[in-house]
Chains A and B, each alone.
Chain A
Amino acid sequence: MNLNFATLTDLQKALRNRDVSATELTQHYLTRIDALDPALNSFISIQAETALDGARRADERLARGDARPLTGIPIAQKDIFCLQGQRTTAGSKMLGNFIAPYTATCSEKLADAGAITLGKTNMDEFAMGSSNENSYFGAVHNPWDPKLIPGGSSGGSAAAVAAGLCAASTGTDTGGSIRQPAAMCGLTGLKPTYGRISRWGMIAFASSLDQAGPMTRTAHDAAILLEHMAGHDPRDSTSLNEPVPSFSEGIGKDIRGLRIGVCREFFTEGLDPAVERSIREALAVYESLGATLVDISLPHTPYSVSAYYVIAPAECSANLARLDGIRYGHRCLDPENLQDLYQRSRGEGFGEEVKKRILVGTFALSAGYFDAFYNRAQKIRRLIKEDFVKAFEQVDVIAGPTAPTPAFPLGEKASNPVEMYLQDIFTISASLAGVPAMSIPVEFANGLPVGLQLIGNYLQEGSLLQAAHQFQQETHWHTLTPPEAL
């Protein structure tokens, strides 16, 4: 078995059969990280020692025949999840020295299920970005072509899985930050229903939009990981008190009769024709599997980016106010007074994109502008939600492109924020509505991965995973691996 690109299901079997030990597997990935990551920069920190300790304990457990579902499986976690005693930076200089005193609920759940964390992955600073060029720790390179961006903001998590540096990873998605990098790196990435996974211990960007989720090689793997991340958490008031179904058990059923909505507004100008061809091809695969395609409209989709770029910055302007250099995080040298301490600590600690969004959010919330911006954006958000509610009366799943283009060269859009923001044009509406959505690899365009976005109704991650899994039973795109750099 090729350990580099083995799926979770393969690894579970191999570990239980003692074909490979957890220690061997962990060491294998650590060695690959050492060798390949200098070129990719997908990790901010590596926890080799704790990972190997964990692996030893996993091997003892496996020897006792007492394995939990993820015992011995090495994963990577986006550096936005607090892990007790570990540095947690959110890709920012501001938190460059922050050691978290607690562990994020979903990371704790994964650890309880036996997963081993190899390290923390690179990301756009505070999850703000679509190219992973906004990290204080440097840009991440796409394993399919290091000249290209991996997508963002969970770019490090995507690159690490795509390059075979870990079995799976966690990401967070506020407006597309799991789905878009999954599409660009040829992975399966799932943003669950808002509230499915606790946000406790996950550094906030925009509280009403942030959702954690799995980034994996297959839909089956995503189902397994999701099962061990989801669940009600009293520490997060927005966490849903809903049972977590066994997603991995439900995905085997065929999808004959599944009604797939093809949303008109997702096939607009700006959509790369090559990407559109791949998406149409994927839809044809679904028809061949017995699904029915239904032409639908989500009429308020064109307003989603504008609404998002008011709501998300507004929330982040408050969420990031706690980073003031007083209690933890970066503090400027020799502040002259309080004002100076605030201005220089924040001025030095935050990168350009973060500052831009704090300014936009502060403006949108200020007296005299609140109604014109924040309230209007919330109105659009309600209309977008209603669009989805209506659409799901007709269809089970909505399909379309995840991103308008495949991965683009580093630096290409860095100077054009609007073009960069349009990367999320198809992913943002599901975030605003809070419905689950995922991206799966479909036919490549010009040798680069393309993602098909599947959007489901509230709490219907199961239907999404089933549709994705059935597609992956018929196609091989998710099995393709990037050329080895070594």
Chain B
Amino acid sequence: MSIPAGWQIDIGLEIHAQLNTRSKIFSGASTLFGQSPNSQACAIDLGMPGVLPSVNAEVFKKAVEFGLSIGAKINQESRFDRKNYFYPDLPKGYQITQMDHPIVLGGEINILRSDGTVKTIRVTRAHLEEDAGKSIHDFKPGLTGIDLNRAGTPLLEIVSEPDIKNAEEAVAYAKAIHQLLTYLEVCDGNMAEGSLRFDANISVRRQDAETLGTRSEIKNLNSFRFLEQAIHFETERQISVLEAGGTLVQDTRLFDPDRHETRSMRSKETATDYRYFPEPDLLPVMLTTEFIDEIQASLPELPSKRAQRYQTAHELSASDAALLSQDRGLGDYFDAVLTFSSNAKSAANWVRGDLLSKLKEHELSITACPISPKHLGEMIQLIDQGVISGKIAKEVFAALWSKQTESAGDYVRQNQLEQVSDASAIEPLIDALIAENPKQAADLRAGKDKLLGFFVGKVMQATGGKANPQQVNDLIRQKLSEL
């Protein structure tokens, strides 16, 4: 959808990312997803009387990793606040969050636009908080069930500046955050399980207007597609109201994917007063400079840096470099392959081609790949050394995948798959072929180069694929010129 002429859109995203700690942010209960209702909620998560929260130190580490990765300032004094509102799936009647002292301040995310240009989206802040439970409406007619398994799951809420100008940029930004969080292994990124959820603050204004328009906040979008659709519907709605001479009210809206619309939940006038105040049950936590430095030192090479390295040091194409660096495990695998084979281009082709399609076919992650980087690297080396042909390599790859062998070299030896590079073994075959196919030989000699493939194919067939195709090429040309 294109933006109607004369209008511009301003979008800021709030992304709620569940941090993948084993236990909850303020209790020792497990964060496992998909367990039977209320089986993962302890007295603290249930908000029983007299219980107290204590902070899971892991959340600071993960939040700092994210903050440092986007070049943000880390707030060394981390404080928590209470955000007060009543809802059945909020057991304490308040959410523990960080209002005045977010752990991450500022930072930037670069996104790639479809025209190939890079745009920088500024991050305002990211803060730690606890997730609420879930209300399951009408789980029996007229009854609402409360499942508090999710209550207390650590969240990092990442808030952007309104730098996003259309749905495409919003999705690119959301995907970049998703990629970074999963790359850092601080969030499992599982959208279907709600590990990443978006709130979009959307406003429109005339092209020449200097200040932002009246915004609406669309809550709880749990997929990239919904994010995109919600932005389309909401901007259309806002523009049509304004074009009809109407005015907008600042409100909070729900996206209804079935009816393709956003609906107002509450306006600014009826908004909840959250009555934030410092959480007295938790003392401020001081993050030491050493703690932050240690995390800085242990940060993995980030996707953008990695892609850059693949392009400059290994001369990969931009698309290969991007593909191999988007997933940390895949990048690590590729780097490991490179320690056994210096042919980066060939390695990239094998990894992004045969390997990824096999993994996809078997629904395996790269970490569960049956072929180790060493074995793949050795196989590529055999090709480069001319020991096996690319065609034989496919067979070796299949054997490695199915675990018929642990070593490409052994497999090639045991099955006598070495390329036949001995001209005396191939020459008689060529002589016989030329004798059997005089017309084709003559045509080829006359310049019908397409027929070269015919002869090469016949030789490869006769040698069971073991002949070196380049050598066969050369020999055929030589033979024909001698005629």
User: Which residues in A have some Cβ–Cβ distance to B below 8 Å?
Assistant: 80-82, 88, 90, 95, 98, 100-102, 104, 199-204, 206-208, 234-238, 314-315, 317-318, 320-324, 326-328, 338, 342, 362, 365-367, 370, 374
Contacts and interface: CB of A to CB of B under 8 A. Distances in A.
A155 to B, nearest CB: 20
Interface in B355-385: none
Nearest to B55: A237
Contact of A314 (B46, B273, B277, B282): B277
Contacts of A323: 49
B256 interface: no
A201 B280 contact: no
A95 B48 CA distance: 11
B50 A324 contact: no
A370 B278 CA distance: 12
A324 B93 contact: yes
A183 to B, nearest CB: 27
Given A322-B93, A327-B91, A365-B84, A101 B43 contact: yes
B88 A200 contact: no
29 contacts: A100-B48, A100-B49, A101-B43, A104-B50, A199-B50, A200-B50, A200-B51, A200-B52, A202-B50, A203-B49, A207-B281, A237-B52, A237-B283, A238-B52, A318-B93, A318-B275, A318-B277, A321-B86, A322-B49, A322-B91, A326-B88, A326-B146, A327-B91, A328-B48, A342-B86, A365-B84, A365-B277, A367-B273, A367-B275
A448 to B, nearest CB: 34
Interface of B: 43, 46-55, 82, 84, 86, 88, 91-94, 146, 273, 275-277, 280-283
Contacts of A327: 46-48, 91, 146
A419 B278 CA distance: 30
Contact of A238 (B55, B86, B273, B281): B281
A102 B51 contact: yes
Given A237-B55, A318-B94, A321-B94, A374 B277 contact: yes
Q: Counting chain A CB atoms within 10 Å of each CB, which of B50, B82, B281, B282 scores highest? A: B50
Contact of B54 (A101, A234, A362): A234
Contact of B281 (A88, A237, A326, A367): A237
Given A102-B51, A199-B52, 16 more contacts: A90-B49, A201-B51, A204-B281, A207-B280, A208-B280, A235-B54, A236-B52, A237-B53, A238-B283, A318-B277, A322-B48, A322-B91, A324-B88, A326-B88, A326-B146, A365-B277
B49 A98 contact: yes
Nearest to A201: B50
A418 to B, nearest CB: 25
Contacts of B88: 324, 326, 338
B79 to A, nearest CB: 12
Contacts of A81: 50
B86 A204 contact: no
A90 B48 CA distance: 13
B274 to A, nearest CB: 9
A374 B277 CA distance: 9
A80 B283 CA distance: 23
A235 B273 contact: no
Given A237-B281, A327-B91, A322 B50 contact: no
B84 A318 contact: yes
The B interface is mostly helix, strand or loop, or mixed, namely: loop
Given A326-B146, A342-B86, A321 B93 contact: yes
A366 B84 CA distance: 10
Contacts of B146: 326-327
Contact of B92 (A203, A234, A322): A322
Q: Counting chain A CB atoms within 10 Å of each CB, which of B92, B94, B275, B283 scores highest? A: B275
A4 to B, nearest CB: 32
Given A324-B93, A327-B91, A342-B86, A95 B47 contact: no
A162 B479 CA distance: 120
B84 A235 contact: no
Nearest to A339: B86
Q: Which 5 A-B pairs have the closest CB atoms?
A: A321-B93, A207-B280, A365-B275, A208-B280, A322-B47
A315 B279 CA distance: 9
A339 to B, nearest CB: 9
A349 to B, nearest CB: 12
A324 B275 contact: no
A293 B117 CA distance: 79
A434 to B, nearest CB: 12
B49 A88 contact: yes
B49 A102 contact: no
A82 B49 CA distance: 8
B49 A235 contact: no
Contacts of A236: 52, 54
A318 B91 contact: no
Nearest to A200: B52
Nearest to B94: A318
A254 B327 CA distance: 72
B49 A95 contact: yes
A315 B280 contact: yes
A309 to B, nearest CB: 16
B133 to A, nearest CB: 10
Contacts of A324: 86, 88, 93
Contacts of B86: 321, 324, 342
Given A318-B82, A327-B91, A370 B277 contact: yes
B277 A237 contact: no
Contacts of A237: 52-55, 281-283
A365 B274 CA distance: 9
Contacts of B280: 206-208, 238, 315
Nearest to B88: A326
Contacts of B276: 365
Contacts of A320: 93
Contacts of A201: 50-51
A101 B94 contact: no
Contacts of B91: 322, 326-327
A211 B276 CA distance: 24
Nearest to A101: B43
Contacts of A342: 86
A318 B97 CA distance: 14
A204 B280 CA distance: 11
A362 B94 CA distance: 13
B50 A203 contact: yes
A229 to B, nearest CB: 15
Contacts of A202: 50
Nearest to A362: B275
B283 to A, nearest CB: 6
Contacts of B53: 237
Contacts of B51: 102, 200-201
Nearest to B28: A235
A212 to B, nearest CB: 11
A106 to B, nearest CB: 11
A298 to B, nearest CB: 23
Contacts of B277: 314-315, 318, 365, 370, 374
A236 B51 CA distance: 9
Contacts of B47: 322, 327
